[in-house]
Structure 1
Amino acid sequence: MNAERNESVIGDGTQRESGPVPTTLPLNHRFVEPERAVKSITDMAIWEKSEAYMEYTGFIATLNEAIKGKPLSVDCKISENVNKVMNMLEKIDNAIEEFPPVEQPQRFGNTAFRDWLAKVKSNTTTLLQEMLDIKFHLAIPEIKVYLEESFGNATRIDYGTGHEMSFVMFLCCLYKIGALLADDNVATVFMIFNKYIKIARRLQKTYRMEPAGSHGVWSLDDYQFIPFIWGSSQLVDQPKIYPPVKFLEDDIIDKFADEYMFLSCIKYIKEVKTGPFAEHSNQLWSISAVGSWLKINQGLIKMYKKEVLAKFPVIQHVLFGSLLPIRRFPISH
């Protein structure tokens, strides 16, 4: 399998931190089913120099730039392919209604989640065939795994930043094969990713999911990270929520949660947690003292690389294929 991966060169190998450029895969490109590759702490150094790492961090940076200073209601291009992804997510969302929580003795981790996820996994190939143009169907066995890993773990009935990462990798793969294009960048965050976050929250509440590998009050949030990155980018140069400490005010949250992902995250935390915000969300409380949203955004990207992408317990579950390969990132001369 590794030999197959090494045969496939994506684009011309000149991709840099700016994120996925529109690439045309070679006609003989061989898709592979993704598998784990970071199996020990020492493998983390391979991950941090890999094409997958550069593609993934570049993708986050590209979309971060695309949405800077924009509210969710901004008029953006909505392509047919974006609408198709949204339709697929709507079907996944609606399936939750078929599996209501069951009566059980333990408070957390409702076992009905396993039935819901099994239903989703049994349908992902069909859903992706409906969503994607036939010319992309060869990619389905590779990209579907990222989608299936996006909603939580069936054994532990938990959800965390690794599952969120899997969905962003799924989006990155859609760009790599050409199903989404640069014109879709804003809609990818404001429509597709925002819909995904709503599904994730619904799953967390419906099935009382445990946080995966939570660090308690010392982590940014029990479940998510990326909506804080992209959400803070939205708030750069936005006078309505300035200085940033205003994001703690209830009237500001109520007024702007539907326009800015960062405030939507704060609203959700306040709904599911009790007690003083400074105690249950210490990191966010500290961030509120930073003087500008640009500094917060830059700081959160650094924090994400350190607290999520550099953590073996998260990265050991990451899957690598031909689109996001573990091979070393080519160095330009």
Structure 2
Amino acid sequence: MESGRSSHAGGRVSGAGMTGDSKKDDIVAGVLPGNHRFLEPTKAIKTITDMAIWEKSEAYIEYTGFIATMNEAIKGKPLSVDCKISENLKNLINMLDKIEKLIDAFPPIEQPQRFGNVAFRDWMDKVRSNSTQLMQEAMPPSLHLAIPELKVYLEESFGNSTRIDYGTGHEMAFVMFLCCLFKVTFLQTEDSVPTVFLVFNKYLHIARKLQQTYRMEPAGSHGVWSLDDYQFVPFIWGSSQLIDQPKIYPPGKFLEDDIIEKYSDEYMFISCIKYIKEVKKGPFAEHSNQLWSISAVGSWTKINQGLIKMYKKEVLSKFPVVQHVLFGSLLPIRRFPISH
């Protein structure tokens, strides 16, 4: 029942293109009314009891629906699949390239403590001071009114500059950013596959570079019991890519070095495993117990469904993560309207 609801919500999120062949103006009008007022997103979940509001909110339904919609769009497809890349997508990738290049301008500084290099704060300040301009260059003037709302999600995507840490809440901000780009019709339904494979994957590359360059602490990690210190969504979408792919079957083969070497550029899940093996020492079963357990599951479909459930339980239902979630006009905290 739950997944059915999610995919329906996903249809609303990507309403940009779901309305078929109607004229573009009609589509825009259909998604956001002409008098739509954008809002700078703010935190709304202040106490544990507010969690019930979050789980019934429009933002929650839209967000989980977006994850389900993208999950479906990329099912069984390798990263190298041939897909049309729109001008808007090219602009978005170009924007992320510029953000990544800024890392080189702020090399880590010599400091006594091992974790959390303070040069990250300078990089983050630069991204914040440039974010409006970067988005204006990437988006058409007709959507510039949305930038004050959208850019907050982008800025939150790369980590916390006070604590110099990064975790699933920051990853969530970026997925919300993508979700909002569909809601304002900057991205259309036909952009779904390249949004995951080119834009989200590029973001993942930047997040890893930041983690390593500035030795960022994992935010709110449960250590050995969490799926991964930093990410979660690429395991969901990455496992969907592997559904009905005979090359990595049974799933347990994802732990084999030759499989990792051969397929890490084709499948996000495998690239995540490769990254973990590069940055962590010791037996895989000890430092990544949850992923080790997953390797015993019989099919990628089951792994994919299990990871979506785990994400809702271990990330979206956890107050330490959700207290940082931002709500605006596009992902509102108001209750999702129940249609009869």
- TM-score tier (shorter): over 0.9
Q: Decide whether the 8 Å contact of 1:161 with 1:225 is kept in 2.
A: yes
Distance 1:235 1:165 in 2: 22
Partner-residue secondary structure (3-state), 2:133: helix
Tell me the CA shift for residue 18 of structure 1.
4.1
Distance 1:16 1:141, change over 3 A: same
Q: Which residue of 2 aligns with 1:42?
A: 49
Off by >4 Å, runs of 4+ in structure 1: none
Q: Which runs of 5+ in 2 are unaligned?
A: 1-7, 17-29
Distance 2:68 2:31 in 1: 21
What code does the residue aligned with 1:151 have? F
Distance 1:265 1:28 in 2: 43
Tell me the CA shift for residue 24 of structure 1.
2.8
Matched, 1:238 2:231: no
Q: Which residue of 2 aligns with 1:12?
A: none
Q: Which runs of 5+ in 1 are unaligned?
A: 1-14
TM-score (norm 2): 0.93
Q: Which residue of 1 aligns with 2:283?
A: 276
Distance 1:32 1:226 in 2: 26
Report the structure, 1 or 2, having the larger helix content. 2
Q: Decide whether the 8 Å contact of 1:109 with 1:208 is kept in 2.
A: yes
Which of 291, 295, 313 is 1:306 aligned to?
313
Distance 2:194 2:11 in 1: 18
Map 1:218-297 to 2 at 5 A: 218-297=225-304
Between the aligned residues of both structures, percent identity stands at 77
Map 1:1-333 to 2 at 5 A: 16-18=9-11, 20=13, 21-22=15-16, 23-333=30-340
What code does the residue aligned with 1:219 have? S
Tell me the CA shift for residue 19 of structure 1.
5.1
What code does the residue aligned with 2:298 have? G
Q: Decide whether the 8 Å contact of 1:31 with 1:139 is kept in 2.
A: yes
Distance 2:206 2:9 in 1: 32
Distance 1:267 1:279, change over 3 A: same
Q: Alpha-carbon deviations, 1:54-77, whole Å to 9, x = none? A: 000000000000000000000011
Partner-residue secondary structure (3-state), 2:31: coil
Q: Which residue of 2 aligns with 1:11?
A: none
What code does the residue aligned with 1:83 have? K
Q: Decide whether the 8 Å contact of 1:44 with 1:312 is kept in 2.
A: yes
Q: Alpha-carbon deviations, 1:20-40, whole Å to 9, x = none? A: 122531110000111000000
Q: Decide whether the 8 Å contact of 2:9 with 2:66 is kept in 1.
A: no
Distance 1:24 1:318 in 2: 23
What code does the residue aligned with 2:153 have? Y
Q: Decide whether the 8 Å contact of 2:10 with 2:67 is kept in 1.
A: no
Partner-residue secondary structure (3-state), 2:101: helix
Partner-residue secondary structure (3-state), 1:16: helix
Distance 2:135 2:151 in 1: 8
Partner-residue secondary structure (3-state), 2:215: coil
Q: Which residue of 1 aligns with 2:4?
A: none
Alignment RMSD (CA, Å): 0.8
